[in-house]
Structure 1
Amino acid sequence: MATFVDPVADAAEACEGLRGLAHATRAFEDPADMYRVLGEVSGSVRLLRQVLDQLSRAHADHRDIAFIDDRVPAEAVALAAADELHQAADGLDEVADRVMRAHEASGRIAWHTHTIPEPERSRRWVNVVFLQGSEADEVLDLIDVEGVQAGIAHLAQWDFGDETTGAAFVNGEVYDELPAGQWDRSFEADGYVLTYNPQMGYVGLVREHPDTTPTPDEEEVVAARDAFSGVTSESPPRAAEGTDWFAPTSAHGASSSVGRSL
């Protein structure tokens, strides 16, 4: 607490307060607090000028009892200190004006609350089923007549839960990006994504894979461009290398692939 009568004690307290302020102003959790701090600092600069003026006057008033160590009168030294203090006080006038203008400008600012964006949830997808040719035509007709929800409900019959997920990991049909070509249509609902292309004659369904499931080896996860492996009902579980889901099917090579019919 300030004594208002003991300049030594009050100077020590003021110094300690400034030390605390210098530490506290290294960061502001709420930028709006800067306006209030500037108001206090602005007033403090004015008071500091008053202190320097008073110290200058005190040196001049007591110059007749000023001595240096060898008892030689030091009136000139006291006056020199008074002059330096007076100039320092005058120099604070510009500081006070600038701080005051900064305080006024800060008062015109409406600080918006910082919003920390939530990290985007990582999503992965497992293949459920892929059909092309005549088998796809039936589903494409269903989508055309009853809508994409009906198509998802129909293809979801090939989803056997953990068994389908396990087969997808084994066969490398876990995708970091949705498997879809440039001209494909996609629709997401209930954790599934339906991808279909009436012109190319194929339709596929993938299911979102929760992050809580252990991560497979990197070689088991393929890029989206390799998503649809073109496994046929007669093919072994592993798709032939280089099969392109998005390539048009020849007239005599139409096939279907049910996402690891389990």
Structure 2
Amino acid sequence: MPTFQNPTADAAEASEALRGLAHATRTFENPADTYTVLGDLLAGVRSLRQVLDQLATAHSTNQVRAYDDAGNQGVGASHAFTAAAELRQAAALLDGMHDQVDAAMGASGRIAWRPAPSDSVPARRVGIVFLQGQDADEVLAIIDRDGTDAAIEHLAGFDMGEETTQAALVNGYVYDTIPAGPLDRTTTAGIYTLTYNHDHGHVSLLRTHPETREPDAGAPATRTAPSHPQPRRQVPVVEDEDDWFAPSQSSSVSRGRAL
């Protein structure tokens, strides 16, 4: 805290505060904060100019007490005179600096800062496969025995690439958030996200789909997973044999269908 009486102590504190400010202003999370900093700096420049004037006065009014190391008063007085002149010149230069900072603050105050643009588009996910009952039991066994990465690798065999993506878009199995219930477990490996639930006996695999194109006219809108998903159910088949999003009726995991 400033003493307002001890110049050496207050000068040391001002130096430390400026050192801290130099460190803190390396980055600005909110550029609107620059206006406040400029205002405080402007006040600081005014105070600094006053300090320089007062330092110059202290040198000039105490010339009779100025000596050099050899005890020569004339040489000491000359040094005091030179120091006072240089300090007054520095104070005059600060007038221009004050005007420049004041102009910068005025321009900064007219800026309406907006949030930083996002560098990435939030990725959506397309449903690859959903299994339940006996079809899911085999995959749940893989998870217990070999881990989730092995289960993801196994279920990735249902991913037919663009064919799967287009089928998901047609049927509306594209999600802004992961469709998982509060008791489901979720894990991600690369572009795939696995959700599973031992108690309810189901597993599903989704793939990242970063494109942001609008759905075709008449196509179902992109889904947002509800906070409390409804129980899973079978969905109508679009084509007799090529619908990868209808749950399998077989007991073989190899015949599972996507969401």
Match of 2:66 in 1: 66
Give distance in 2, aligned partners of 1:171 and 1:65.
Answer: 90
Q: Deviation per CA, 1:126-152, whole angstroms, max 9, x where unpaired?
A: 368xxxxxxxxxxxxxxxxxxxxxxxx
Give distance in 2, aligned partners of 1:185 and 1:172.
Answer: 16
Cα distance change of structure 1 residues 256 and 21 upon mapping to structure 2, 3 Å threshold: closer
Match of 1:108 in 2: 110
Cα distance change of structure 1 residues 71 and 118 upon mapping to structure 2, 3 Å threshold: same
Cα distance change of structure 1 residues 175 and 57 upon mapping to structure 2, 3 Å threshold: farther
Q: Which amino acid aligns with 2:67?
A: F
Query: Aligned-pair RMSD on alpha carbons?
Result: 4.2
Cα distance change of structure 1 residues 52 and 160 upon mapping to structure 2, 3 Å threshold: closer
Cα distance change of structure 1 residues 110 and 169 upon mapping to structure 2, 3 Å threshold: same
Give distance in 2, aligned partners of 1:214 and 1:79.
Answer: 75
Match of 1:94 in 2: 96
Gaps of 5+ in 1: 129-158, 194-207, 219-223, 225-254
Match of 2:186 in 1: 212
Query: How far 1:258 moved relative to its partner?
Result: 7.1
Give distance in 2, aligned partners of 1:62 and 1:123.
Answer: 79
Give distance in 1, aligned partners of 2:31 and 2:69.
Answer: 52
Cα distance change of structure 1 residues 55 and 96 upon mapping to structure 2, 3 Å threshold: same
Aligned residues: 181
Query: How far 1:3 moved relative to its partner?
Result: 2.7
Match of 1:49 in 2: 49
* Identical residues among aligned pairs (%): 39
SS at match of 1:187: helix
Bigger Cα Rg: 1
Contact 2:125 2:174 in 1 (8 A): no
Give distance in 2, aligned partners of 1:171 and 1:36.
Answer: 54
Gaps of 5+ in 2: 140-152, 193-208, 210-239, 251-259
TM score, norm. by length of structure 1: 0.54
In terms of mean alpha carbon deviation, does 102-111 or 23-32 score higher? 23-32
Contact 2:59 2:84 in 1 (8 A): yes
Match of 1:172 in 2: 157
Query: How far 1:7 moved relative to its partner?
Result: 1.6
- Superposition pairs for residues 233-244 of structure 1, below 5 Å? none
